[in-house]
Amino acid sequence: MSRTCLAVILAAGDSTRMKSSMSKVLHPVAGRPMIAHVMQAVVGAGMGDAALVLGRDAEKVEKAAGIDGISTTSFLQTERLGTGHAVLAARDAIARGYDDVVVAYGDVPLITPAPFAAAREKLAEGADIVVIGFHTDTPTGYGRLLVENGELIAIREEKDASDEERKVTWCNSGLMAINGEKALELLDRIDNQNAKGEYYLTDLVEIARAAGGKVVAVDAHESELTGCNNRAELAFIEKLWQERRRHEIMVSGVTMIAPETVFLSFDTEIGQDALIEPNVVFGPGVTVEGGAIIHAFSHLEGAHVAAGATVGPYARLRPGAHLGAGSKVGNFCEVKNAEIGEGAKVNHLTYIGDAFVGDHTNIGAGTITCNYDGVNKHETRIGANAFIGSNSSLVAPVAIGDSAYVASGSVITEDVPADALALGRARQEVKPDRAVLLRERAMALKKARSGQ
């Protein structure tokens, strides 16, 4: 759409019901602040500029809303005198002159671009006001959208509605689009002659109609317009977001054995024919390529899993983990800031941090890369086709060459050349019959302690 558009995002509420030390719109859904989800939908609907109406935690909210694809200007709302008053806090931005002005809320993170695009389309067809509504089987408490001959004639609040009007199931969401050329003129006509003495944005419907303008409504799915006022509603929104995203991913060709137990992040990417077993958590920044398998009870964040690789069960991939094609990170392993080469195996009970593991190398159970000296982190480099025996400690900085062997139970503090065998453990001694003496001493000590 070539028309210019300003999004006015209302995010100045005190969030009292959240009972939180931070603004409501900063609370995350799928690992991303609520307001960032709204901004993403705004960008998706072709809006290039946004006016943020802020209050509590203004600087943090401004930062959270600053996503790619949109330019933002912030306005501080110092008084709370209704939604109409809140929109006019962005007067200077509205006055710049836009074809469309869209009003949205920072606490509606499930919104998609579609309702905004539909509202803008109606503006392009000549409407002055477009209200975004939703149909619901439980309309109690919502303002009803009253339509005649295709035009919206009123938004009737429930306390003012007749018995017949209360039967209407099309309800007001609070989101609205306004003809940009008339926006300030219409907004300035809103008065506060009501019981609360506040300026209501919904009054624009009657104001625009009285001026001979066209007012219409467009529909959105009820779930998209779910707002958040407390922690219970936040959990419900998270549930809806997860269900929607899981469905999208499965339809794209990913198998989830128990999808209701898999938790995704806002930017999780999973390729076709990947398999996700139950109870897997994806933090931000994870890409899983096609054909990979993520076994049960694994946690991934900031990681890249290449095609055909397997993870878990009970594995943890931390930021910077990069698994090559066909590689394996097995049960009770942790990988952080490390590259695991193609076909390499880190099978079980192992920590690989700040490291490079070459192609087709085998890391035995209980291996540790000792990357931290108490002050700095150091790198361990292991070449291709190497074998690291079980229960080895690799004290970084250290390098293990291609096709080298490290004997089980070794502590490696120096570089190991290619094709070499390294042993870093004390020599074993065997004392015949010594176990008998040790048992006798132990029993004598036990009797002495018990007073026998």
Closest CA to 106 of 51, 68, 156, 148: 51
Closest CA to 53 of 220, 208, 201: 201
Percent helix, strand and coil across the chain, each rounded to 5? 25, 30, 45
The full 3-state SS of 162-197, as one line of letters, equals CCCHHHCCEEEEEEEEEECCCHHHHHCCCCCCCCCC
Nearest-angstrom CA–CA distance, 151 and 130: 10
- Alpha carbon of 131 to those of 48, 204, 226, 253, 403: distances in Å? 21, 10, 16, 37, 68
- Alpha carbon of 224 to those of 102, 142, 227, 393, 401: distances in Å? 16, 16, 9, 52, 55
Beta-bridged to residue 76, according to DSSP, are: 54
If you search the block for the tokens 């293990």, which residue do you land on? 400
The residue type of 263 is: F
Q: Is the dihedral of CA 209, 7, 145, 127 positive or negative?
A: positive
Structure tokens at 228: 């958040």
Look up 304 and say whether it is catalytic. Answer: no
Q: Point out the catalytic residue in the list 304, 322, 348, 360.
A: 348
Nearest-angstrom CA–CA distance, 64 and 48: 17
Nearest-angstrom CA–CA distance, 213 and 183: 12
Q: Residue length, the chain?
A: 452
> Is residue 339 a contact partner of residue 356, using CB atoms and an 8 Å limit?
yes
Q: Within a 10 A sphere around the Cβ of 330, how many other Cβ atoms?
A: 20
Q: List, in sequence order, every beta strand (DSSP E) within 228-371.
A: 255-256, 269-270, 275-276, 281-282, 287-288, 293-294, 299-300, 304-305, 310-311, 316-317, 322-323, 328-331, 334-340, 345-348, 351-357, 362-363, 368-370
Nearest-angstrom CA–CA distance, 183 and 127: 12
Sort residue 366 into left (φ over 0), alpha (ψ -120 to 50) or beta. Answer: left
- Grouping H, G, I as helix, E, B as strand and the rest as coil, residue 10 is strand
Q: Is the dihedral of CA 262, 267, 268, 271 positive or negative?
A: positive
Give the residue numbers annotated as catalytic, written as ranges: 348
